[in-house]
Structure 1
Amino acid sequence: MTATVERDVFFVSNSVDELGGVTSWSHQMARLLTGRGHRVHVVGITPPGVSQEIGDVPYPTTTLYAGQPPRPGRARDAGMREQAARLTALFRAARPRAVVIVTQVWAMEWVALADTRGLTVIGMSHESFAYSRACSRFQRVRRHYRDVDRMLALTREDADLWIVHGMNNASFMPNPLPFMPEVPSPRTGKSVVSIGRLHDQKGIDMLLDTWAEVAPLHPDWDLRIYGSGEDEELLRKQCTDLGLDDSVHWMGRTGDVPGALRGGSVFVQSSRGEGFPLALMEAMAAAVPCAAFDCAPGVHEIVRDGEDGLLAAVGNTGELARRLDTLMSDKELRDRMGEAARVNIQRFTTAEIVRRWEDLFGFLER
């Protein structure tokens, strides 16, 4: 299927290959839109601190800086203007009806200096309103996305909150389902699976505290933690201090998420903050029921509590432990919720989300 109107589409992010969900989302959408006949270009501001493998891509990628930009001052300002001029050159070479999608607000600081006349500019926030509200990104979103054609949150609930705080151009767009594996998990292995960066936001420290309550109740189960990150050493020490080394397995980063999920019967997410978490969607697509902290509207938009997964108040490790215990103790419940999850998550298929993007492009062009 091809697009009704073929466009040039630019994705502008902090980096083209940094570790994290925004990068995965950007390249998934870039591939999908390329497949629809659009001419896509992915642009990053700087090289990442920690990169991920993006593989061969059917579109060009550009990184503006060879290293990190200078600290604030004249050199930084001059460098920003120089790199914004590079963006302008890319944008001026685009065909009519071109669209610029800025996936992270820091990158918008360069796009704002470039010439975007005649282009549709969409700014995105890939985190919940509450998580953004608690840090400096809140004011930066309000400042840098105020005049774009559309500011997109990930859920209607978050978009409404942005509107209340003066962003009258706010709307929402959920993430597409990353994949739909042909072979779901059989849910026979006695393993709980976690997938995410070993970073404070992902709350692996709280997961270990949770597991310390659950593990004695289920000595034949293990916890498999997939991911890497700057907190790994501290987390491994915490694991040892809690006496969990025999039941917790540090699996490292994986390039085979479906395979990792097929090895588990329950998925757990312990994040302090999220946007529209891909890992939850991936687990549900694999028919693995989830227990998660309800840390963002995107979480309870994805998981229907009591129907296809179980939610706990964010930070309440005792409650999350009880949710895990419920799923681990009842195979019939796991099977019922896992099958429901695989069906329910299909409301976010790539075909549906791409159609919504195409409709948005057409609407903003009017």
Structure 2
Amino acid sequence: MSAARDLFLLTNSADELGGVTAWTHQMARLFTGAGHRVHVIGVYESDLKMAVPDAPEYPVTSLYPQHPPTPQPLGGARRLSVPARRREARRIAARGHALATLGSVLDAARPGSVVVVTQVWAMEWLREIDTAHLTVVGMSHESYRYSRACHRYHWIKRHYPHVDRWLALTQEDADLWTAEGLNNVDFMPNALAHLPAVPSPRTENVVCSIGRLADQKGVDMLLDTWAKVAPLRPDWELHLYGAGGDEPALRAQSTESGLDGSVRWRGRTDDVPGALAASSVFVQSSRGEGFPLALMEAMASAVPCAAFDCAPGVREIVRDGEDGLLAPVGDLDALADRLLRLTGNPRMRDAMGERARVNVRRFSQERVLERWEELFALLER
């Protein structure tokens, strides 16, 4: 039995609909079950919420009641604007209150305590707190390639050289960050949350997608892909599970493409195993990913996957041609080909689905928790 520790999971939001929030509460439950004292801290409370336990076994604290405002420099004419100066004063006061709350939580930490920062944006607050008595582990839940293409690359280069260890999701990404000059990089895969007792029977002519209706998830590309598949598979439907700000535009795209007869908008779901049990193929069309939980959950349900090879984490999970099919990222014709192969060949579906259910167990919660315990022990030396 490993030593019990105070563990603080600091994340952008503790209740936002999305994979990082699901991962945060999954790990909080695992760490609590292993005897650690866990406290989940979100920077803000989200408008688009996911279902989290009403009374978790660990405390949950939010530093702001909503997303904090972005600083607006009082330069030029803004310096003379009374409303602008008042807004900035309110922002500074709210930030001071948030930092005081974070500081009071962390000040109570006992020796050997660890703060795991799940997303680099939250470091903006942690770096203003005295953490000399704490071990700090930083994380990124997206691939190097996806971070490199946006502002988070610069945040990582600014904030993560200062942490005791920072974790990518795969060895491939860890190597890429090490090549950037960061010498504290390791990797930690996500854990499979659930292995259903009964796999999907794969009897329904349903392809499903589960994820936020946002640009990163590439649902617009999926609809364009489905426009190539649907005429050749008139007895199949595409079920889209998820919610997000892009939904109106995506629904309009579906209508304009003549897909309303075969696309079903299922909304957000708190019953992912049920959605997968009613599906025979899973599709992931993301522009960027980290180590996608939905992909692992589909494989655990013995639902074979067709996915864009958009991150090392995707090809770590899916063994192309063995337990799923990968397509070059953004190649709609290739993704359509993978979907046509899976929807048109029940023997392939069954074989890949059963292999997927076996292979994905290498990311079991027990194995990943053991890796975390080894990391904590190493950092304590």
Structure 1 residues 77, 170: closer, same or farther in 2, change over 3 A?
A: farther
CA distance in structure 1 between the aligned counterparts of 2:70 and 2:352, rounded to whole angstroms:
50
Answering whether residue 171 of structure 2 is matched by residue 173 of structure 1, we say no
CA distance in structure 1 between the aligned counterparts of 2:40 and 2:177, rounded to whole angstroms:
27
Give the letter for the 2:61 counterpart: T
Answering whether residue 53 of structure 2 is matched by residue 38 of structure 1, we say no
Counterpart among 251, 274, 286 of residue 259 in structure 1: 274
The answer to whether the Cα contact below 8 Å between 2:306 and 2:335 also exists between their aligned partners in 1 is: yes
Aligned to 1:200: 215
Give the letter for the 2:135 counterpart: T
Aligned to 1:209: 224
The answer to whether the Cα contact below 8 Å between 1:81 and 1:113 also exists between their aligned partners in 2 is: no
The answer to whether the Cα contact below 8 Å between 1:284 and 1:338 also exists between their aligned partners in 2 is: yes
Aligned to 1:19: 17
Gaps of 5+ in 1: none
Aligned to 2:170: 155
The answer to whether the Cα contact below 8 Å between 1:101 and 1:122 also exists between their aligned partners in 2 is: yes
CA distance in structure 2 between the aligned counterparts of 1:269 and 1:256, rounded to whole angstroms:
18
The answer to whether the Cα contact below 8 Å between 2:47 and 2:66 also exists between their aligned partners in 1 is: no
Aligned to 2:375: 360
CA distance in structure 1 between the aligned counterparts of 2:37 and 2:94, rounded to whole angstroms:
28
Cα deviation code 1:278-320 (max 9, x no counterpart): 1100000000000000000000000000000000000000000
Write out aligned runs for 1:180-329 (5 A).
Answer: 180-329=195-344
CA distance in structure 2 between the aligned counterparts of 1:162 and 1:330, rounded to whole angstroms:
41
Give the letter for the 2:58 counterpart: Y
The answer to whether the Cα contact below 8 Å between 1:285 and 1:342 also exists between their aligned partners in 2 is: yes
Count of paired positions = 364
Write out aligned runs for 1:118-137 (5 A).
Answer: 118-137=133-152
CA distance in structure 1 between the aligned counterparts of 2:10 and 2:61, rounded to whole angstroms:
9
Aligned to 2:62: 63
Taking only aligned residues, the RMSD between alpha carbons, in angstroms, comes to 1.1
Cα deviation code 1:174-233 (max 9, x no counterpart): 000011000100011111011111111100110011111111111111111111111111
Aligned to 2:45: 47
Aligned to 1:28: 26
Gaps of 5+ in 2: 74-87
Q: Identify the range of structure 1 (151-160 vs 74-83) with the bigger mean alpha-carbon deviation.
A: 74-83
* TM-score (normalizing by structure 2): 0.93
3-state DSSP class of the match of 2:186? strand
CA distance in structure 2 between the aligned counterparts of 1:264 and 1:66, rounded to whole angstroms:
38
The answer to whether the Cα contact below 8 Å between 1:276 and 1:299 also exists between their aligned partners in 2 is: yes
CA distance in structure 2 between the aligned counterparts of 1:304 and 1:68, rounded to whole angstroms:
39
Cα deviation code 1:313-356 (max 9, x no counterpart): 00000000000001111111100000000000000000000000
Tell me how far 1:79 sits from its aligned partner.
4.1
Tell me how far 1:15 sits from its aligned partner.
1.0
Give the letter for the 1:58 counterpart: E
Cα deviation code 1:125-171 (max 9, x no counterpart): 00000000000000001101111001101000001111111211111
Identity %: 62
* TM-score (normalizing by structure 1): 0.97
Aligned to 2:81: none
The answer to whether the Cα contact below 8 Å between 1:155 and 1:174 also exists between their aligned partners in 2 is: yes
Structure 1 runs (4+) deviating above 6 angstroms are: none
The answer to whether the Cα contact below 8 Å between 1:214 and 1:321 also exists between their aligned partners in 2 is: yes
Tell me how far 1:83 sits from its aligned partner.
2.3
3-state DSSP class of the match of 2:44? coil
CA distance in structure 1 between the aligned counterparts of 2:224 and 2:349, rounded to whole angstroms:
23
Tell me how far 1:267 sits from its aligned partner.
0.4
Tell me how far 1:81 sits from its aligned partner.
4.3
Give the letter for the 1:68 counterpart: H
CA distance in structure 2 between the aligned counterparts of 1:311 and 1:294, rounded to whole angstroms:
6
Give the letter for the 2:36 counterpart: H
The answer to whether the Cα contact below 8 Å between 1:284 and 1:290 also exists between their aligned partners in 2 is: yes
Give the letter for the 2:119 counterpart: Q
Tell me how far 1:82 sits from its aligned partner.
4.0
